[in-house]
Amino acid sequence: MKVRRGSVPVLYFCVLTFQLYAKFLQHVLGHFLEAACVGPTEDQLKEAGTPFECHKSFYRANGKALAMNETEGMVKLCCEPDEGRILSAHVFGAHAADIVQEVTAYITLGATLRQLRDTVHIHPTLSEVLIEVN
């Protein structure tokens, strides 16, 4: 499945889906987790027969999240298995939209997970959670 520029309906669907999921989490956990995504979901990649790998990282291991007392959250990146080209990002937690915005730029450029990890991130920031995905 190719991620194309200007695929607003897909992005809107993802944001709407995550907003509903976030409201569910708020009801269950008693507080709100911001959620944002760009690109296809795991299910959409599977349905399209696109080979991919998921890489995850958690806010609880991020210094800025600890300082903000916002340790509930995670990042999931779906990438091509060979080249590592980033296909999508799904983020739950504080400032999720800000983190997804960075990944959106990488996807637009056709960047790989390696290129994302090689990018210098200011310390301490929540966006460092991106370079910690494994």
Catalytic residue among 90, 95, 121, 123: 123
29 contacts: CB under 8 Å, gap ≥ 6: 72
Tracing tokens 């991919």 back to the chain, one arrives at 52
| Cα–Cα distance, 115 to 39 (Å, whole number) | 18
Q: Report yes or no: 129 and 65 within 8 Å, Cβ to Cβ.
A: yes
C-alpha 74/C-alpha 60 separation (Å) is 8
DSSP state string for 59-108: GGG-HHHHHHT----EEEEEE-TTT-BEEEEEEESTTHHHHHHHHHHHHH
Residue 27 catalytic? no
Instruction: Indicate which residues carry an active-site annotation.
Output: 123
